Structure 1
Amino acid sequence: MKEEVYGYVRVSSKDQNEERQVIAMLNFGVCQSHIIVEKQSGKNFNRPKYQKLVEKMKNNDTLVIKSIDRLGRNYEEIIEQWRMLTKEKHVRIVVLDMPLLDTRKEHDLIGTLISDIVLQLLSYVAQTEREFIHQRQAEGIAAAKARGVHFGPQRIQLSYEFDHYAYLWSKGDISSRKAAQRLGISYQTFLRRVKEKEYQKNL
């Protein structure tokens, strides 16, 4: 049976462009019909197209990926997936961005050992970098909030007439929709801000 070469391309969201990865696959020699593109997070391996591809691949087929993080984001799961593909299904793996991770070249025990060590090191580094990014993002948000920066939609500045119409509304002399119309805001915003002011008075 003919040995096949498949390319697996993954982007984290529908907004991301997979073109760079696809071009790398084509330049490597993967047929367009054998390139599988999946737009889904790499946080786990519950990806329909990837799972279907794994089931389809057979002994000595080759799986090509652009970089190790396209396979996944979790260090332990990447290692386990690599072991399953290479040891159980006997699929060859090529990581384009890292020539050392090319199991087609493993003809002896030393080659296998080097590949396994490099894989574990890169997987660890990739996961650690993601954790640092998340930490820096959290620290940046916390620092911004401490400076008084507000996240989310900017609050509407109320007209000086707001208290007047809020008073009329509380007396039943005007509807919330009419009051909001006079103030140039939505009636939902009018009612919400009335409640906020009432709450503040009761503090």
Structure 2
Amino acid sequence: MFVRAYLRASTKEQDATRAKAQLEVFAAERGLKIAAFYIENESGASLHRPALFELIADASAGDILLVEQVDRLSRLNEFDWAKLKQSLNEKHIKIVALDLPTSWMMTGTDETTARMFDAINNMMLDMLAAIARKDYVSRRQRAAQGVEKAKAAGKYRGRSEDTERNALIQKHLKAGLSSWSEIMALVGCSRGTVAKQAALLKTLSA
């Protein structure tokens, strides 16, 4: 059994490794050693998470996926959460989250107790994933309401365009020598930003 830690932040500006020391302490207190860290800056509301699926691909049956909070693993809608759980279940990966005490028993217990806690844990995971999704949707709704209010008051200016970054993205797209993932890593942007610039280039060349 290997412990594989997953660390995620939503944007490039956020520190995805913020909880690394906390996970190391948690593992050490239970006599466990983290075999590998999988780190990325991607939205928890999207299934496009290369590091997470690299973890799943690397894992063997019985390995532990260790996260700080369930919302680091998922802010997904119900359909995508079911798809992610299926991928995890097919590899028999155990999810252990610091904010889910029922999952802590998965780090070391007998088979009968493990099966009992597995059933409880799955129910709690579903509940926390649903709460994380609701929080995500609510925050986006509040942000949209704030924008509409600012627009109505004539105070909304929108986000300024990063022309230098966008020019660099377009340069790499035109060259055709780099994949979108490589451009994202090089420039430090999201897949959506690359897609937007690709669409813009297509429009300009039409």
Match of residue 39 from structure 2: 37
Report the counterpart of residue 174 of structure 2 in structure 1: none
Specify which of 103, 107, 111 is matched with residue 113 of structure 2: 107
- In the alignment, the residues of structure 2 paired with residue 11 and residue 108 of structure 1 have an alpha-carbon distance, to the nearest angstrom, of 30
Code of the aligned partner of 2:84: Q
Question: Aligned residue pairs: how many?
Answer: 151
Contact preservation (8 Å) 2:2, 2:34: no
Q: Structure 1: how far apart are the matches of 2:86 and 2:125?
A: 11
Relative to structure 1, the CA distance from residue 108 to residue 133 in structure 2 (aligned partners, 3 Å threshold; closer, same or farther) is: same
Structure 2 counterparts to residues 149-188 of structure 1, below 5 A? 149-152=155-158
Aligned ranges for residues 1-203 of structure 1 at < 5 Å?
A: 3-29=1-27, 31=33, 34-76=36-78, 77-85=80-88, 87-102=89-104, 104=106, 107=113, 110-152=116-158
- The answer on whether the counterparts of 2:8 and 2:72 sit within 8 Å (CA) in structure 1 is yes
Structure 1 portions without partners, runs of 5+: 155-203
Larger radius of gyration: 1
Q: Distance in 2 between matches of 1:18 and 1:150?
A: 30
CA offsets, 1:90-109, max 9 Å, x none?
Answer: 11110111112346167266
What TM-score, normalized by structure 1, do the two folds share? Answer: 0.65
Shift of 1:80: 3.4
Query: Greater relative contact order (Cα 8 A, min sep 6): structure 1 or 2?
Result: 2
When the two chains are superposed, the root-mean-square deviation of aligned CA atoms in Å is 2.5
1:143-200 per-residue CA deviation (whole Å, 9 max, x = no partner) reads 122222231489xxxxxxxxxxxxxxxxxxxxxxxxxxxxxxxxxxxxxxxxxxxxxx
| CA distance in structure 2 between the partners assigned to 1:107 and 1:139 by the alignment | 48
Q: Aligned partners of 1:56 and 1:33: how far apart in 2?
A: 11
How far did residue 55 of structure 1 move?
0.9
Determine if contact 1:79/1:120 at 8 Å carries over to the other structure.
no
Runs of 4+ in 1 over 4 A off after TM superposition: 30-33
Counting aligned pairs with the same residue, the percent is 28
